[in-house]
Structure 1
Amino acid sequence: MDNSLRGRTVVVTGGTRGVGAGVARAFAEAGAQVLVCARRPPEVPFPEARFVSLDVRDADAVRRFFAGLDRLDVLVNNAGGAPYSLLADADAERHVRVIELNLLAPLTASLAAHDHLRRVKGSIVMIGSVSGSRPSPGTAAYGAAKAGLENLARSMAVEWAPDVRVNTLVVGMVHTELAHLHYGGADGVRAVARTVPLGRLALPADVGAAAVFLASDAAAYISGASLSVHGGGERPAFLDAATVNKET
């Protein structure tokens, strides 16, 4: 299967660390010219991509950025995230900002990129989350935004066909440089990894490989799809609670 994207231009929002950096590197390895957009430059610069300072929540700045591009073949809407906060422990405005970053910003970027993508029959890859399809206590606004993002991608795939393909990667737990902070150190990471059927957390490179596939000619007939990158998902809790067929 040839996933080569040589000669194509790819924009990855939030591509300076974690999943975004893994996605940017994967596209660069496939031969693409990669631009990564974020508010701050990467702490460890990597030569595979060109950095552009951009706050994706600033709609005017986003429109100016895309208007200034000569060509665009692939847009990866990766920028997102949310701090842990129970719903009642933060005001509505804070939750609204989470939704702006994770849902409205990808919509703004996609609209700004549309004309470029339509001209070359390009594609959009949304970086979704398993939080969008299950309860997400502590990050409820984030989960709601990711659910909306997946639905937006499906609608966009219908409205913009046949000129632009739009797909979503539904990403599970990823071992990034900040994973130890989320899961309580190395021991926590190992414990959480044991809950994944494949026995480990995803690596940013795993997400990047899936994004390259969806953007490549190998996926030319795939649009409006949601591809799960979660190592098999989550073991249902009731299996551990049930006593049937367990040795005593």
Structure 2
Amino acid sequence: MDNTDPVDSPRSPELLGRTVVVTGGTRGVGAGIARAFAEAGAEVVTCARRPPEVPVAGARFVPLDLREPAAVRDFFAALPRLDVLVNNAGGTPYRLLTDVDAERHARVVELNLLAPLTASLAAYEHLRRARGCVVMIGSVSGGRPSPGSAAYGAAKAGLESLARSMAVEWAPDVRVNTLVVGMVRTGLSHLHYGGEEGVAAVARTVPLGRLAAPADVGAAAVFLASDAASYISGAGLEVHGGGERPAFLDAAAHGNPQEG
């Protein structure tokens, strides 16, 4: 009889020997995702237009503009193996719809929707052979109004829809899921929320009382890529600390209605 205490037994990294590509994995959320996969034992490749200011331990960087389809295809063709693709690259500046022309908004859609599609198609044969998976990094902006980032919200809504269709078309060989990410604290958060006081005020609106850390998103991505999630495909996993408190609750409380 084996009397080994499982609690004290050494735990093997759950993704040991698997190759993972994280697009835009050089800073912020992407770096957190790359770090989480490296800690899980995977061989991690990150790609972006510019190299990381602080290299992610355990990750290899390859320069790549994800809006150049030919370069994307060449990048994936050169890989000897691929088990997991994390489509993380994306983002947008704050712009009201009438601030710029449609062509500028189209570039936001290109980066946040078309680039993940291009990368996924280029990676498909690798993933099919490995029975691998795609993890899309979506946003709560895709499921609610996003004033100031409307094109981004529309692209993220499209990304989640794309992932659900891919999950059906590519089954059973490739699983496809989306992380629906809320507000994340990164090195640039104070610029978006008006300094540290603004960050703290925004954090208080989250039911769990804080913004996500990049490591929180990384842990969720590792889960979706792991064997524990082998029957999960076409899903959207919300990583938002409980969501957003409905504004009408605070409005009703401050209104102090009187009964007649």
Q: Please report the TM-score for the alignment, with normalisation by the length of structure 1.
A: 0.97
Displacement of 1:247 in angstroms is 9.3
Matched residue SS, 1:175: coil
Q: How high is the sequence identity, in percent, across the aligned residues?
A: 79
SS in structure 2 opposite 1:131? helix
What residue number does 1:80 align with?
90
Q: With CA pairs under 8 Å and 6+ residues apart, which has the higher RCO, 1 or 2?
A: 1
Structure 2 counterpart SS, 1:242: helix
Tell whether 2:251 aligns with 1:234.
Answer: no
Q: Is the 8 A contact 2:13 2:41 kept in 1?
A: no
Aligned to 1:32, which of 42, 47, 53? 42
Q: Note the C-alpha offset of 1:245.
A: 10
Q: Quick check: 1:3–1:213 contact (8 Å CA) kept in 2?
A: no
Does residue 95 of the first structure (1) align with residue 88 of the second (2)?
Answer: no
Tell me what 1:8 maps to.
Answer: 18
Asked whether the equivalents of residues 3 and 217 of structure 1 are also in contact (C-alpha less than 8 Å), the reply is no
The range that moved more, 173-182 or 43-52, is 43-52
Distance in 2 between the 1:81 and 1:168 partners? Answer: 16
1:61 is aligned to 71
SS at match of 2:17: coil
Based on CA coordinates, which of the two structures has the bigger radius of gyration? Answer: 2
Q: Aligned Cα RMSD in Å?
A: 1.6
* Distance in 1, Cα, partners of 2:42 & 2:188: 27
After superposing on structure 2, the runs of 4+ consecutive aligned residues of structure 1 that deviate more than 6 Å are none
Amino acid in structure 1 at the alignment position of 2:137: I
- d(CA) in 2 for partners of 1:247, 1:208: 45
> What stretches of structure 2 of length at least 5 have no aligned partner?
1-10
Segments of structure 1 that go 5 or more residues without pairing to the other structure are none
Compute the displacement of 1:47 (Å).
Answer: 2.9
Residue 46 of structure 1, CA deviation: 2.6
What is the rounded CA distance, in whole Å, between the counterparts of 1:94 and 1:3 in structure 2? Answer: 43
Instruction: State the Cα deviation string for residues 146-186 of structure 1 (Å, max 9, x = none).
Output: 00000000000000000000000000000011000000110
TM norm structure 2: 0.93
Counterpart selection for 1:42 from 27, 37, 52: 52
- Aligned residue pairs total 248
Contact 1:2 1:218 in 2 (8 A): no
Q: Which amino acid aligns with 1:74?
A: V
* Equivalent-residue separation in structure 2 for 1:246 and 1:119 (angstroms): 62
